[in-house]
Amino acid sequence: MNAKQVVSWIVRLGLGGLFMLAGVLKLKDPSKFALEISNYQLVTFGTSFMAALLPPVEIVAGAALVVLPRVWRQAAAFVILLMVVMFSVAVSTAYFRGINIDCGCFGGAASPITGLTLVRNAALLCASLLCLKLDATPPRLFTASPSPFKK
Amino acid sequence: MVGLLIRAGLLASLGVVAGLLFNTIRPDGVSLGSAPPAAACQLTAVSARTVERLTPSQANHLCGNPNVLIADARSAESFAKGHVAGAVHLPCAAPQGVAQGVPDLLSSHSTVVVYGETTGEALAVAEGLVRRNGSSNTALRVAVLEGGFSAWELAGFACASGPCVECADGKNGELIWPGPSTTGGKP
């Protein structure tokens, strides 16, 4: 196992594990999660749908990033990237509008939106981009060697 | 790239289907088909000259709607300590400049929700709004938040802190809403 594969494993485990954990925590109380979504004041309808559907998508994408083969891991990293972008936009607008609400990032755990939340989201964005890049090229099993028939 | 998008779509679809199934079978799942309608829709048959009373939950459904104005009738100090996110400051003892700017502000909204420390404090301001603007803006719906700001906080809905950036000049707290006598306030 080379250094690139070690980095890939660490990032995948960290990012996938974090999304699975976040999804499970949000699933525990979907009504509270729906309230947290509506508190962002970005959408006036569909919060119940988002509260019911987002956590399972997080869990599926997180699990796929950890256990599935490379092509599916890349797709999972892409799904996670889209979710991180969406979360970052929501958190940033709340932060810059000065709305004092819970982030809702990990279900019921009270976590107000601060500058650190934005930094964490930026780190998650980098991690998902890294996963996408690391899984973009197949691992090279055989090294090219000069043909024995060539002089 | 197409393969990546298809696989990503399949993964997301798997999560969506799992979410729908899980939400259906769990006893405490959220209601997807019978979401409470926005309170604005329930107010259509009500005369513009009456003041509605909204629960925090009903008022929360109006938040983020560009046609709805949330007005805080408490003191500037209380407003700065914490207020309903997106609310503007409209105290009971508003100076003349504010009073002149209010009709212009309300003309761009179909509903105004007033809240105070108590329901009574908000009612005083709301009834004043109906009296002053009822004849010129008959379509305007005026409502108060039942239980005041404490009920809103207790329900866990969104709050913000700091002075009113949309209506204060930032120097001495004087309200300068847009209107005939404004001096540069933003709507």
Tens-digit pLDDT profile for residues B20-60 = 898 888 887 777 754 443 333 333 333 335 788 888 888 88
Distance (Å, whole) CA A23 – CA B103: 47
pTM of the model: 0.57
pLDDT at A35: 77
The answer as to whether A142 is a domain residue is: no
- Which chain B residues touch A100 with a CB distance below 8 Å? 82, 85, 158-161
Per-residue pLDDT band at B146 (split at 50, 70, 90): confident
State chain A's mean pLDDT as an integer: 84
In a shared domain, residues B27 and B64: no
For residues B67 and B48, is the Cβ–Cβ distance under 8 A? no
Q: Which helix (H) or strand (E) holds B78?
A: helix B76-81
Measure in Å the smallest separation between the Cα of A55 and chain B Cα atoms: 7
Q: Note the pLDDT of residue B184.
A: 33
pLDDT band at A61 (very low <50, low <70, confident <90, very high): very high
Q: Per-residue pLDDT for A139 more than 70?
A: no
Tell me how far apart the alpha carbons of residues B86 and B45 are, in angstroms, rounded to a whole number: 27
Same domain, B139 and B51: yes
Indicate whether B55 and B135 sit together in one domain: yes
Residues of A in contact with B12 (CB under 8 A): 57, 60-61, 79
Between chain A and chain B, how many beta carbons pairs sit less than 8 Å apart? 113
Average pLDDT across chain B, whole number = 70
| Closest residue by Cα to residue B59 from B86, B38, B88 | B38
Phi-psi region of B146 (alpha: psi -120 to 50; beta: other; left: phi over 0): beta
Residues B5 and B86 placed together within one structural domain of the fold: no
Based on the fold, state whether residues B6 and B68 are members of the same structural domain: no
Choose among B119, B10, B99, B5: nearest CA to B56: B119
Question: What is the residue range of B87's domain?
Answer: 39-160
Residue in chain B nearest A75 by alpha carbon: B8
Number of domains in chain B: 2
Instruction: For chain A, give the percent of residues with pLDDT over 90.
Output: 41
For the residues A48-68, what does the mean pLDDT come to? 92
In a domain, A139, yes or no: no
- What does the alpha-carbon distance between residue A45 and residue A26 come to, in Å, rounded to a whole number? 19
- Of the pLDDT bands very low, low, confident and very high (cuts 50, 70, 90), residue A59 is very high
Statement: residue A143 has pLDDT above 70: no
- If asked whether residues B55 and B75 sit together in one domain, one would say yes
Of A29, A31, A44, the CB nearest to B38: A44
Bridge partner list, B53? B144
Lowest mean pLDDT among A40-54, A135-149, B116-130, B148-162: A135-149
Q: Are B25 and B78 part of one and the same domain?
A: no
Question: Between the CA of residue B90 and those of A99, B67, B137, what are the distances in Å?
Answer: 19, 17, 18
pLDDT (tens digit, 9 = 90+) per residue, A4-35? 888 889 999 999 999 999 999 998 888 888 87
CB contact under 8 A, B30 and A52: yes
Q: How far is CA B141 from CA A68, B68, B74, in A?
A: 55, 9, 20
Cross-chain residue pair B35–A45, CB shorter than 8 Å: yes
Note whether residue A28 is domain-resident. Answer: yes
pLDDT at residue B61 is higher than 90: no
* Domain enclosing residue A47, as ranges: 3-134
- Closest alpha carbon to A66 in A133, A126, A19: A19
- B187 or B109, greater pLDDT: B109
Gap from B31 CA to chain A (nearest CA, Å): 7
Nearest by CB: B19 against A52, A61, A71: A52
**Residue A36, domain member (yes or no):** yes
Distance, in Å, from the CA atom of A47 to the CA atom of B98, rounded to the nearest integer, reads 36
User: What's the structural domain count of chain A?
Assistant: 1
pLDDT of A148 > 60? The answer is no
pLDDT at B92 over 80: no
In this complex, is the C-beta atom of B61 within 8 Å of any C-beta atom belonging to chain A? yes
- Between B11, B30, B162, which is nearest A60 by CB? B11
The reported pLDDT for the residue numbered B185 is 32
